Amino acid sequence: MVKIKKQILFALILFLFAAKPLSAQVNTIYQGSFGMQLTGGEVSSSLLHGELYYNYNRWWDHEWTAKLRSDFQSSEGKEVISKHLASLRYGKSITNDWYWFSRLDGEKDSVRDLDARYGLVAGLGRWFSDERDFSFFLEASAGRYSDHLTGQTSEDYGVIQFREEFDKKLLETLLLYQEAFVTNLKDGHRYVADLGLDNFINSHWGLGFSFNYDLAIYEDGTRQEDTTFIMELRFNYEIEGEE
């Protein structure tokens, strides 16, 4: 626990004193989405989904990224899912293709009796394409996590993670995106995949269709599997300039 807190404090200090160039092109993105599903009949259920995303990018130098995602689901008035994910990330270019990054993660999942999971990772990434019509990168990182399970003593453990992401513009208003994430857990492994299609009505608003698959496999053979498909209203606001 003490080691995790020291690592987080060191990361925050590093973020605050990161070097900045004299002049650069700046791109700032604000995004959000909200989705809802209601079903009736013999079994009534509801699903609420929300996301917030912020990215500040000084081209060819460094960027900040913040993400927040929440899912609530109930069936017959009883809670089935209550999941929350948050991350704060800083990335710094090494070359035009390579960069290093550090990321703080936080998670809460009532279904898996996870009161809190948080930690710090750092690693390397490589851009294979960074164009407006197509972007693709791979990342590898390592760090420490801490799990706080309901009724159990918290435990720290080391993690090694791999992440892949791409965005492909199919038409002027149609965007396909995909992300895959693999990490070890204290006593198992976790695989997360997202696939989505956004159709923007104008430069700021659109409809999104997303599919999320989350699988955890533990050493004792236990599997925890979540599959979510949702239609959502999406918001995108982008600012470009120089500083």
Per-residue pLDDT of 32-89, as tens digits, reads 988 876 655 554 567 788 999 998 887 768 899 999 998 887 776 666 668 899 999 9
Higher pLDDT, 40 or 22: 40
Give the mean pLDDT of the chain.
84
CA-to-CA distance for 194 and 141, rounded, in angstroms?
A: 19
CA-to-CA distance for 198 and 205, rounded, in angstroms?
A: 10
Domains in the chain with CATH codes: 2-16+36-242 (2.40.160.40)
What pLDDT, on the 0 to 100 scale, is given for residue 16? 43
Highest mean pLDDT among 55-59, 78-82, 103-107, 219-223: 103-107
Per-residue tokens: 183: 């990490």
Whole-number CA gyration radius for the chain:
19
CA angle 38, 34, 163 (to 5 degrees): 110
Calculate the CA 187 to chain-centre distance.
Answer: 22
CA-to-CA distance for 146 and 240, rounded, in angstroms?
A: 38
pLDDT cut 70: percent of the chain above it: 82
What pLDDT, on the 0 to 100 scale, is given for residue 1? 54
What pLDDT, on the 0 to 100 scale, is given for residue 111? 76
Dihedrals φ, ψ of 113, to 5°? Answer: 55, 35
Q: Whole-model pTM?
A: 0.81
**pLDDT higher than threshold 80 for residue 4:** no
